[in-house]
Amino acid sequence: MGKKSIAKNFLYNSIYNLMKVLFPLLTIPYVSRILLSDGLGKVNYAITIVSWFLLFASLGIPRYGVREIAKYYNDSRKRNTCFTELFIINAISTSLCVLAFYFLIFNLDYFDDRVTLYCVVSIQLVLNVFNVDWFYQGIEEYAYITKRSLFIKSLSLVLMFAFVRTHDDYIVYALIQSIAVACNYILNFINLRKYIRFLTTGLNFKKHLTAVFILFSTQLAVNIYSLLDITMLGIMCNDSVVGYYSNVHKIIVTISTVTASLGGVMLPQMVRLIEEKNYERLKEIAEKALEIIVVMCVPMSVGLALLSKDLVIVLFGTDFSPCIKTMIIFSPFITISTVGNLFGTQLLMALKKERILLYSVIGGAILNTILNSFLIKLFQQDGAALASVCTEFLVMIIQIVAVEQIIKIRLKKMFVIQCLFMLVIMSLIVELCMIVMLNVYLKIFMAIFTGATGYFFIGYIVSNNAVLFIINKGTNYLKKVKK
């Protein structure tokens, strides 16, 4: 296979993750007003329960698979062998989890009046056997992933507006979501024939098990503090509180997923640089990624907090006004989780320090459980948001310290001063728009547009490295498009 460009991968992955933001922004305002907080709460709680089973079904393969496939980028025989081994492991674990899930919902009284909803959502679990996104990420086929996702999301958007019409259509809403996920999986599997030939001999499953289970343990600990909040809210509070929190959680985590693409496409490249022992180039790429993350994520977090009141009303409707404070509390999560993703998922994974990654998230899981147990009682959805932010911050610090023992990654003092100055100017512009504008839609648009424009303009004036890099890459891409 030919070597893929980091810039192109970054572009496609950014478009792919941008769609993850744009499509919820189109659907959430509609379904929030149709299904209201209790309807959305029912669906989101069901998805959370299925996500626990998906975690066990996937083991650590989605992360481990990217790294292993990237190692055999130019060796088709080893790539076929590796893929076949991981696919079979995933098929066995998924089958066992499907059986356990259906045993649970058909034998516990709690699910008696919600069996249909849980069966609909479980489509994602049943078809997890075909979830091979990790393979396409490993061979850096971000163009395919982006085009496939655009098609499926567009189709699901049309179905959403066509069939979700009343408060009682929450099962239809869940079905459309499940079908969208299932279509992604099926198209992935059909497209595999271009790259993979399944093997029946020379397979060695044992060599993967240690790393897979370490990464599974890591992912389990991560999910304890990414799924436990909604799970505990469902147990300790009502469907409406779950709806308040899950809507804000979805927006914040969706944005965080997009910002994670600022470093996410580099894992295959990092793996190869470490194999080549080219640590200077690795340090250079990591520092550039950290600069871009800071320049992009910090203003997003601040802007989201400043605009939270109007955003909640516009996105979710007045029924969701109790979660305005939740969004303010949750807003730092975007920056914290993206920096953590770079140091944890990208660097520690590339450096094969899975155990350190595991220990960091176990610490986070313990803290999150403790914080949730009393903060949810005191502050409901706001308490869950505060617990998530504190937990993510602890995990990020542990991962940064661990990476620093191997590679020194630094932000220059002048770069930090420039970013603070840019942020102050942006905040003043946003606050001015909030005071001057009366129409809420115009207020949000102008605040985002003028705030972002002012931020990047000041960054250009003071010659901020990350801003100049982003502008340069964008200009070069537009020139190529014209040609």
The model's pLDDT over 335-354, given as tens digits with 9 standing for 90+, comes to 999 998 888 878 887 777 87
Question: Would you state the pLDDT for residue 477?
Answer: 62
Per-residue pLDDT tens for 209-219? 777 887 777 77
What proportion of the chain, given as a percentage, has pLDDT over 90? 28
Which is nearest to 145 in space by CA: 319, 286, 12?
A: 12
Domain boundaries, the chain: 6-411, 414-483
Residue 304 tokens read as 């989201």
Task: Tell me: pLDDT of 1 over 60.
Answer: no
* CB of 278 closer than 8 Å to CB of 308: no
Higher pLDDT, 16 or 252: 252
Between the CA of residue 428 and those of 167, 306, 453, what are the distances in Å? 41, 10, 13
pTM for the full predicted model: 0.73
Task: Tell me: pLDDT of 329 over 90.
Answer: yes
Question: How open is the CA angle 208-212-217, to the nearest 5 degrees?
Answer: 155
Question: In whole angstroms, what is the distance from residue 130 CA to residue 186 CA?
Answer: 6
What mean pLDDT is predicted for residues 73-97? 86
Confidence of residue 251 (pLDDT cuts 50, 70, 90): confident
As a whole number, the mean pLDDT across the chain is 84
Of the CA atoms within 13 Å of residue 453, those in its CB half-sphere come to 7
What mean pLDDT is predicted for residues 220-231? 74
What mean pLDDT is predicted for residues 429-441? 89
Confidence of residue 325 (pLDDT cuts 50, 70, 90): very high
Confidence of residue 447 (pLDDT cuts 50, 70, 90): very high
Question: Would you state the pLDDT for residue 63?
Answer: 78
Question: Would you state the pLDDT for residue 436?
Answer: 87
What mean pLDDT is predicted for residues 170-196? 88
Question: In whole angstroms, what is the distance from residue 453 CA to residue 429 CA?
Answer: 10
Question: Would you state the pLDDT for residue 41?
Answer: 86
Question: Would you state the pLDDT for residue 483?
Answer: 58
Question: Would you state the pLDDT for residue 414?
Answer: 94
Confidence of residue 5 (pLDDT cuts 50, 70, 90): low
Per-residue pLDDT tens for 257-292? 777 765 555 556 666 777 777 778 888 888 888 898
Per-residue pLDDT tens for 42-82? 898 898 889 889 888 888 788 788 878 877 777 778 888 88
DSSP 356-415: HHHHHHHHHHHHHHHHHHHHHHHHTHHHHHHHHHHHHHHHHHHHHHHHHTT------HHH
Task: Tell me: pLDDT of 127 over 80.
Answer: yes
- CA dihedral 233→237→243→248, nearest 10 degrees, is -50
Task: Tell me: pLDDT of 4 over 60.
Answer: no
